[in-house]
Amino acid sequence: MEYVTASGVDVPALGFGTWPMKGATCRTAVEHALDAGYRHLDTAQMYNNEDAVGQAIADSAVPREDVFLVTKIFRQNLSHDKVLSSVEQSVQRLGTEIDLLLIHSPSRSVPIEASISAMNDLQERGLVEHIGVSNFSVEQMRQAIAASETPILTNQVEYHPFKSQPELLEFCIENKIILTAYSPLAQGRVIGNAVLEEIGTQYGKTDAQVALRWLIQQEMVAAIPKASSQTHIEENFDVFDFELSDTEMERIFDLQGGLFSRLRSLLGL
């Protein structure tokens, strides 16, 4: 495993996403993921699978302290009081405290400050260790940072070889905030891409493995691929025994429209 470090916290760079699995399917998949070596698990209130994720953790031989558990607050629960009550229910469903709690997406009616204040309260009570956001713009991230008494650890957003996030990634790097990539395989669209396949041939890796390697090799980026079959769960995890060259990284950035040079320019590299 490799790690992304922010605010003194080492987060496994490769996590396991659980949307849209539920029930026994979700529980079995999480069990396979833990057996394969994943130690970063991602769920959410709106996924309706926190109980399955929690049961898989409880049944696993992996010590709880070795698992970095993430869940997210449903947009309808973002008022101060609903944050408190809904997260208490999440803790009950999960059967354990939460390592990282995120706002799933910003509310159109509830100020960010109200949600963040309640999340800080949950940290003080020991139900939540760290907090972050998801689907936030740069400006919304600035508001969250200003509102919080504790660091914003991550912004979880859609990011993959065909989806560019240069300004957001620049902001995350400059502020030492992790960009966690959901849908890192572009919901299967990376499969069959000629550039990814060609690069993978050099390493004996699949196009999906190359896409994941490209993500976690970037500064301050983690990825949370989802898979339900044991074969794909294990395959997605097998990305730590090779490293892409700068040229190969740039070729994949070019799938987004030649943004590698732009990002380097933004960062003054």
Active site residues: 47
Q: How far apart are CA 222 and CA 232, in angstroms?
A: 18
Cβ density class 177-187: b for 16+ within 10 Å, e for less: bbbbbbbbbbe
d(CA 45, CA 90): 7
123 to each of 132, 179, 225, 239, 258, how far by Cα in Å? 12, 21, 27, 34, 41
DSSP helix/strand/coil, 159: coil
The identity of residue 163, as a single letter, is: K
Peptide bond into 20 cis (omega under 30): yes
Question: From the centroid of its chain, how far is CA 38?
Answer: 13
Q: Which residue has the tokens 């698990």?
A: 41
Q: How far apart are CA 150 and CA 120, in angstroms?
A: 7
DSSP H or E segment with residue 152? strand 152-158
**What is the distance between the alpha carbons of residues 170 and 147, in angstroms, rounded to a whole number?**
21
For the chain, state the CA radius of gyration.
18
| CA trace torsion 173, 1, 159, 120 (10° rounding) | -60
Write the CB contacts of 48 (distance below 8 Å, at least 6 apart in sequence). Answer: 22
